Structure 1
């Protein structure tokens, strides 16, 4: 399988430690996927503008410099090209208003980042089964 044909997941988070942890756990459970990381919402939009294949999943933090997750989500959902692209919020926020706003903007799911590595393992396994495995079988690449 070449890099171009490898299904991809985008991780958007400004916290280097969080990106590192997610990358390590993600690789363990999803070796068949390429994980591309971005620092903020603007980098995500720039990457999407030039990609030939949409990612299978976007993991989007909320609180980031330059363009936060809610702003990026609002922009993406206004464009029919990204209407069905799964976007899951993965953030440190447990604020009900953030969750409600993400839901209004059509985020596919919302998770508060777990504090322990075993909880992160469980969360990424859940995301794999819900968004990657099931999506791969119903929408083959």
Structure 2
């Protein structure tokens, strides 16, 4: 089975940990590459080594807005034909994210059990095939 790489761009280490734990239930075939900032991801060569199947971009980053980075990601070679899914615990209009080119917007829940549901949704939509 081919490894399925998920890129997480989120400045909140606790949220990344929760997402990593939730993805681990899908087995050893899932690789999680975590980046604390969009700059860190774009300047990394990691995306060349582990071609991601999906990129999860947090809407609110430390001192930045993920939504401002969405067009940059979509224009960058690292994201060519790779869905960028915006996610956040904030109430945000999903349509705004979709209009800017996001593949989807997922409301990030507060509990671990609800986070598993988000991961299941990502798995079914972007990783299962």
Alignment RMSD: 2.3
* Runs ≥4 residues deviating over 6 A: none
Residues in 2 aligned to 1:86 and 1:30: alpha-carbon distance in whole angstroms: 22
Greater gyration radius: 1
Alpha-carbon distance, 1:53 to partner? 4.8
Aligned to 2:70: 73
Give the TM-score normalised by structure 2: 0.85
Residues in 2 aligned to 1:80 and 1:104: alpha-carbon distance in whole angstroms: 20
Structure 2: gaps of 5 or more residues? none
Aligned to 2:111: 116
Give the TM-score normalised by structure 1: 0.78
Kindly provide the CA deviation profile for residues 44-87 of structure 1, in whole angstroms up to 9, marking residues without a partner as x: 21126862453101011011135431122111223466342111
Answer yes or no: is the 8 Å Cα contact 2:88–2:106 preserved in 1: yes
Residues in 2 aligned to 1:123 and 1:50: alpha-carbon distance in whole angstroms: 23
Residues in 1 aligned to 2:32 and 2:126: alpha-carbon distance in whole angstroms: 14
Aligned to 1:107: 102
The question of 1:44 aligning with 2:41 is answered: yes
Aligned positions, number: 129
